Chains A and B, each alone.
Chain A
Amino acid sequence: MKLFEYMGKELFAKYGIPVPKGRMASTPEEAAKIAAEIGGPCVVKSQVLSGKRGKAGGIKFANTPEEAQKAAEEVLSMTIQGLPVQAVLVEEKLKIDKELYMSITIDGSAKQAVLIASAYGGMDIEEQPEEYIIKKHIDPELGMMPFMARDVVRRMGIPIRSPHGQEIIKIIQTLYKICLEKDAELVEINPLVFSDDKVIAADSKVTIDDDALFRMKDLPIVDDRSPAERAAKELGLSFVELDGDIAVMANGAGITMATLDTLQAYGGYPKNFLDCGGGTGREATAKALEILLSLDPKAVFINIFGGITRCDDVANAVKDVYEARGGFPVPVVIRLVGTNQDIGREILASIGVEAFDFMEDAARKVIELVYNK
């Protein structure tokens, strides 16, 4: 779960990482009030979860509360990458002497968290040459020790005993503390700025591990999904909408991807990615099929290779939807093998649905039905 910038900064402030003066506003009037409190030039930043908001015009500067109100009005009426802007962050305009980069994320190859830092932060961080990017993997048994933070600062070319150096050493250790205490899979400050002798987090990107939300009761819930995505998420399923014709459901991320690959290889266009996971029961599978039908596809392709998923559960779910609707509005093609497949196939046969043995045969069949080829 991604946090909005202002939420990330509230989190930083709570942990003692310096952030600019300011607050979130959801109306132009509030924005004017915050600007008056700041009492000088400020910046009005759209609060959206996508990147590239600066290039989309979602960041504006204002010298007076009136200008801030006008800027907020404009930004609050914008839609950035399909997402309507619902809030702005109004904060003091910083004097920026230097921009740095600092983040901690998970490195799956190393199976550890990794600190990434650069003395050359800002918009073009991804284009910086490898030698300007400092990486320090964090051994979970040691944690982020002060000596590691000192060495990162040294490698950034910043004097360890300078006010800047001392502050960054603190920030590095604090970021790792946030990661552990909030189960953050990403904390990113870009840019981290030098403003006179201060070091300030001018932006924040924080992503909380979805799998740890059960123990993060004190965090706000951020939700920017489409209705179908939300419905799938409520069932605990992973869903992405695409723009093709054939609605797809398979059990497992890998096989769902391979199912889309196979459909495309035979000339079909998938309408979505729906991984109904392992061990999804009869009721949830029926709801998942309803989500697929709600997309108004030209056909539905269900590809189940049952391990922990039982074929009888899937078949019963298909039968439940079939009976509740009095039939299917579009062809439903099913490949069904694995645990309890014979029971599953009998159930499907009882409603006149044939199950295929092989994914490729089923894929050809659904393409034949949709495209007459």
Chain B
Amino acid sequence: MAIIIDENTNVLVMGITGKQASFHTKQMLAYGTKIVAGVTPGKGGATVEGVPVYNTVREACENHKIDASVIFVPAPATKDAALENIEAGIGVVVIITEGVPVYDEIEIVAYAKRKGAIVLGPNTFGIVSGGKCKIGIPPNQYFIEGNVGVVARSGTLTYEITGNLTANGIGQSTVVGMGGDRAVGLTFIDVLKMFEKDDQTKAVVMIGEIGGNNEEIAAEYIKEMTKPVVAFIAGKSAPPGKRMGHAGAIIERGKGTYQGKVEALTAAGAKVAPLPSDVPQLVKEVLGIK
């Protein structure tokens, strides 16, 4: 099964003629992703890695059935690009771009919710359903098919931990990057619920970090889950972050610290790994692998 994307997902690449987008189009095709169209305004009629380029998303949708899109456009143009894809009725929109203004993100997320679209990012590495489909920028060789679901805020740390899993022969159902920014499409709890329902997923690895209170909110749901959860929280040694006036402190009310997150997750029954390299062993334990 896997979640959100699979081997039948048709993908559109937004901004496909750019340097990063064309490089990663090639990588995604090599992983086996079905990229059926690209869009760059004014470059319609061209091809990139054999993929036809259109001027607008609507034009691409008139010529192909599209299930998901991935956005590689500069930050100032990201809101327009994201809304164009959501408005066209595309169900999964993966926004790689970092540095998107937060009020633009809030608008994107609100519109996606109204249209029932799943947004990953902004500032995400993307999503990989092991062995089936990769949308985004992670290096191909660290993602293999298996039965562990991974959900994370941060990209490279996910490669680190998923790479460790793969090196230990533990494959993944789906690896979901929610995005590192403040206002992103999904929260841990949304993705945990999908993994809980997914037949292929037998255990979940949750990669969080200090700040915010999404991990604490997720802990409330982990209590109800039938599938085991292994977590790693980055930032144990980090200096206290910059405080945003009093408002941040009032919002979080003592939540957001390393200790607070570890306590909430442990109390909910999750196994918390002290270091990224400890994750595979804990996954083996919860899955009963020797």
Count class of interface residues, chain B: 35 or more
Q: Which residue of A lies closest to B76 (CB)?
A: A214
Could you tell me if A111 and B183 are in contact, using CB atoms closer than 8 angstroms?
yes
Could you tell me if A205 and B245 are in contact, using CB atoms closer than 8 angstroms?
yes
Could you tell me if B156 and A183 are in contact, using CB atoms closer than 8 angstroms?
no
Q: Which residue of B lies closest to A360 (CB)?
A: B277
Could you tell me if B156 and A279 are in contact, using CB atoms closer than 8 angstroms?
no
When the two chains form the complex, which single residue of B20, B107, B137, B160 contacts A359, counting CB atoms closer than 8 Å?
B160
Chain A residues with a Cβ closer than 8 Å to the other chain, count: 67
Asked whether A7 is an interface residue with its Cβ less than 8 Å from the other chain, the reply is no
Which B residues lie within 8 Å of A211 (CB)?
A: 75, 99-102
When the two chains form the complex, which single residue of A212, A258, A278 contacts B137, counting CB atoms closer than 8 Å?
A278
Given A109-B217, A126-B249, A255-B160, the answer on whether A264 and B98 have CB atoms closer than 8 Å is: no
* Interface stretch of the complex, out of B7-15, B48-56, B82-90, B232-240: B232-240
Asked whether A240 is an interface residue with its Cβ less than 8 Å from the other chain, the reply is yes
Asked whether B289 is an interface residue with its Cβ less than 8 Å from the other chain, the reply is no
Given A114-B251, A211-B99, the answer on whether A307 and B159 have CB atoms closer than 8 Å is: yes
Bound: A126/B105 CA distance, A: 28
Given A108-B182, A111-B184, A113-B106, the answer on whether A257 and B210 have CB atoms closer than 8 Å is: yes
* Interface stretch of the complex, out of B35-43, B147-155, B192-200: B147-155
Q: Which residue of B lies closest to A188 (CB)?
A: B245
| Those of B191-244 within 8 Å (CB) of chain A | 207, 209-210, 212-214, 217, 232, 234-239, 243-244
Render A144-177 as a binary contact track against B, CB cut-off 8 A, 1 for contact.
0000000000000000000000000000000000
Render A283-321 as a binary contact track against B, CB cut-off 8 A, 1 for contact.
000000000000000000000011111000000000000
Could you tell me if B247 and A186 are in contact, using CB atoms closer than 8 angstroms?
yes
When the two chains form the complex, which single residue of A104, A107, A209, A305 contacts B101, counting CB atoms closer than 8 Å?
A209
Asked whether A88 is an interface residue with its Cβ less than 8 Å from the other chain, the reply is no
* Interface stretch of the complex, out of A21-29, A39-47, A57-65, A245-253: A245-253
Could you tell me if B103 and A183 are in contact, using CB atoms closer than 8 angstroms?
yes
| Those of A100-116 within 8 Å (CB) of chain B | 101, 103-109, 111-114, 116
When the two chains form the complex, which single residue of A130, A133, A186, A215 contacts B244, counting CB atoms closer than 8 Å?
A186
| Sample of 7 more A-B contacts, CB < 8 Å, known A106-B183, A113-B103 | A104-B247, A109-B214, A188-B245, A252-B154, A252-B155, A254-B234, A277-B98
Interface residues of B (CB under 8 A from A): 20, 24, 27, 75-76, 96, 98-103, 105-107, 109-110, 114, 125, 137-139, 142, 152-160, 163, 180, 182-184, 187, 207, 209-210, 212-214, 217, 232, 234-239, 243-251, 253, 274-277
Ordered by A's residue number, 10 sampled pairs between the chains whose C-beta atoms are within 8 Å are: A51-B243, A103-B246, A103-B247, A105-B251, A111-B109, A140-B110, A190-B246, A207-B245, A211-B100, A252-B155
